[in-house]
Amino acid sequence: MWTFNLILFCLFAQSCFSEARADGVPVAHPSSVIYFPEAATASVYSAETTLPLHKHDSYPYLGQVVPISEATSVLGSGSRCVVIPHGWGLDDSSQILAAVERCGINGTITLPAPYVYTISRRMHMRLSNSRLEILGTLSFTPDLLYWIDNSFRVEFQNQSTAWIVEGHDFVITGGGWKQGGIDGNGQAWMTRAAGHSNQFGRPIPLSIYNSTRVTVTDFSIRQPQFWSFWIQDSSQVKLNNIYINGTNTDPAGNGSNYETNIDGLDSMRVDNLLVTNWLFHGGDDCLAPKGNCTNMVFSNLTCVGGGIAFGSIGQYKDSPDYITNVTASNITVSQLISPVTGGASVSGGAYFKSWVGVEEGVPPQGGGGGTGRVSNVSFSGLETWNTSQAIYINKCYYKVADQANYCDTSTLEFEDLKFSHVRGTVSGSVGIALNCSAAAPCHKLVLEDISLRTSSNGSAKVTCDNVVNVTGVVCNSTLPI
């Protein structure tokens, strides 16, 4: 059947192969289409097992802001590889990697709809001046033991990832809103973790690493196994029209949050990141930039189950964390707790979390003692609905119980934070909690045009600890109605 399809295409295209190598192997014409599995080769490279640890010292970005640009418009002008799945339950990762090896430079790789592609093995691919069109669905198998033992290790917190993409000037697209993308079969992972945070081996479905000028657009991730996206050591990255839904369906999750660690996007050492037109439903952070992320723009985001969290940061004693030059606008954050399956209680619409200044234990559940700075962050148009707080600074973040004794020790600095046009409700009595440390008080906080009520239509409060130079609100008072 596949051979017939290939021959039929060749009749219309006139020529699938224009020349042959010295060894007789045909070479694809730049404008031809190569169909897989017929053209699949066994020659796919074996990727390294761990993303590099601490490539370089951590410093804040001090140069000029470079405008975020689309990947070049001439992408995919060469060969085109079309991948057809082997069949239900049969692994397709090898032929996808083979297609990338063939068309991943100056070409286009297409996985047509409505096909489902079984991914039962980890993938690491490199793209250059190319397009990856996932119009169907990559279905990651719920083979928990395989992924725990074989996923790529991620530097931060010794997390895991199932798929790494690196390179430059490439586009990954799902073809349209809520159309192509990933099904992580994450329910198996949620049920196994049973609400426990950072359980080892849960793989991130898609990691963008060591890449420049990247666009991910019109892409969906359903039932992610863990964090949905991880971006590391990259610049000029744009994510637009992204749909993520990681909803627990196990009734055993009622009374707890089985959706814990279902994040939208986490990042580290990323410069020039643009996230726009985003719908997220999960049980943890909608976005969570971590150390050394600079020049970021977040716009038109709807987050159900978690807000925008800066951190956690300060977890690694010898690696300073800097987050600077961030603009967020038109952000809506809400929580949805099902009476049948439970859900997440959202900590804050805008949530800043740094570890205490005393190191105890090892990551992911231990650490602390790190330093750094979060600065020049601006929110405009933040709506929260039944979140714990609308704005929350927590400089007493910890996982080891004894660390609660060191809440005033964090030396990580927060300064030049601005929040305007903040609306909505909070679940408790505190709408804004600015809990900074005595070792490094927060400086220069501006809060303008704030209108918050409790979910029961009561007045909301502002609480402040170790905060210097706050304008727009009166600390430790009730917000005006």
> Which residue numbers are catalytic?
284
Cβ proximity of 139 and 188 under 8 Å: no
Only one residue has tokens 């069949």, namely: 87
Question: CA 139, CA 182: separation in Å to the nearest integer?
Answer: 6
Dihedral in degrees, nearest 10, Cα atoms 464, 466, 471, 476: 20
| 450, 478 Cβ separation under 8 angstroms | no
Query: Which of 208, 267, 272 is closest to 68 using CA atoms?
Result: 272
Show Cβ contacts of residue 10 under 8 Å, excluding neighbours closer than 6 positions. 16
Torsions phi, psi of 237, nearest 5?
-115, 130
For residues 28 and 102, the answer to whether their CB atoms sit within 8 Å is yes
